[in-house]
Amino acid sequence: MKKLFYLLIVFGLLTSCVSRKNQAIQQNILTLKDSYCKAPFKYNYSNKLPSYNSDSILAANKELKEVFSDQSILILNALDNLDEVHQIIDLKKDSSLASQVKVLQLKTKINSKITIALTELDAVAAEFDCEGERVAQIGNYVDNLNSSRNNKLILYSIVAGAAASIAGGIVHDQGWSNAIDIGGGVLGAGFGLATLNPKGKKVEFIHQRNLLRDIWKEKLESPNFPPFIWYMYTEKKFSNKEEHSIIGNMKQRWLHYQFDDSKEAADKSVIFSDGGFYRADDLHNRAAMLNQMQSATRTINQNINYLLLDLDKLIL
């Protein structure tokens, strides 16, 4: 009887610890229901979108190809700085001090637009990074829920088996002893099988401002992104092979790796909705997708870096 008494005490202590842990997690989760990653106010960007007729833009500015790459010309067009570049080229033919001063003024104007573009890139990348961390916290919460549940069931299984063993030793009647052993074994096995829940727990996670939904739908414009950033995402000339846009390639990877090539499953996924009930796998997928978009956004800095190098060649 002493063994059974001690076993029950240990059981009570362990379940109490698990309960306190869950209460602490539940309190923390309340701070993650509303996104703290979005900007404190919505900036009304200009509705003017850069032209997607890249071939005609390049053809109209073919004289710039001696200094600028095709991508640099398209970025200058997107920033509305092509006129300034043409003026600089004309002014460079005159070596007077006035012309040199005007060149510097025009370059300053171009650099101002580039600086704004770079800060927009940083802002978007930062929001993807923040949202990724936020989702990771929720994912850890659900993982802890699943772990706590399984730990409880394993503990119940151990206690059931131990209690049946002890009770079987106390009861002298052979029939009752066998019945207790069988019942304890069945109960322990039931608790063990209950741990084999492939989906696990789920939690409600809301994200009405859903950047991933804009990426998945890939419309002509997106109110959640600055027009310049959206242009860089959706213009095929800025991808490696120029067959698909940056987010076009991203969507293909998501479809293959996150949704097993099922577009129907992707379209119905909670990941591209206003939010809802998430399981651990969905949360981990969402975190991975946000991190991938953060990386894709950062790579646009390379294009702007090449533009700055081309501009320096023009001024020298």
Q: How far is CA 135 from CA 28, 199, 206, in A?
A: 13, 18, 10
pLDDT of residue 200: 59
pLDDT tens for the chain, 316 residues long, are 444 444 444 445 444 444 454 444 454 454 456 677 877 767 677 667 788 899 999 999 999 999 999 999 999 999 999 999 999 999 998 989 999 999 999 999 999 999 999 999 999 999 999 999 989 888 888 877 766 544 444 444 545 454 545 555 554 545 544 544 455 444 444 434 344 444 557 888 888 889 999 999 988 788 889 999 999 999 999 998 889 999 999 999 999 999 999 999 999 999 999 998 998 899 999 999 999 999 999 999 999 999 999 999 887 7
pLDDT of residue 194: 40
- Let me know: does 310 contact 151? Beta carbons within 8 Å: no
pLDDT of residue 145: 76
Q: Report the distance separating Cα 12 and Cα 240, nearest Å.
A: 60
Q: Report the distance separating Cα 46 and Cα 227, nearest Å.
A: 8
Rounded to 5 degrees, what angle do the CA atoms 175, 178, 181 make? 150
Rounded to 5 degrees, what angle do the CA atoms 139, 144, 150 make? 130
Residue 270 is which amino acid?
V
Q: Report the distance separating Cα 155 and Cα 47, nearest Å.
A: 60
pLDDT of residue 10: 43
Tell me the two tokens of residue 147. Answer: 């772990």
* pTM of the full structure: 0.77
Q: What is the DSSP letter of 96?
A: S
Q: Report the distance separating Cα 282 and Cα 135, nearest Å.
A: 10
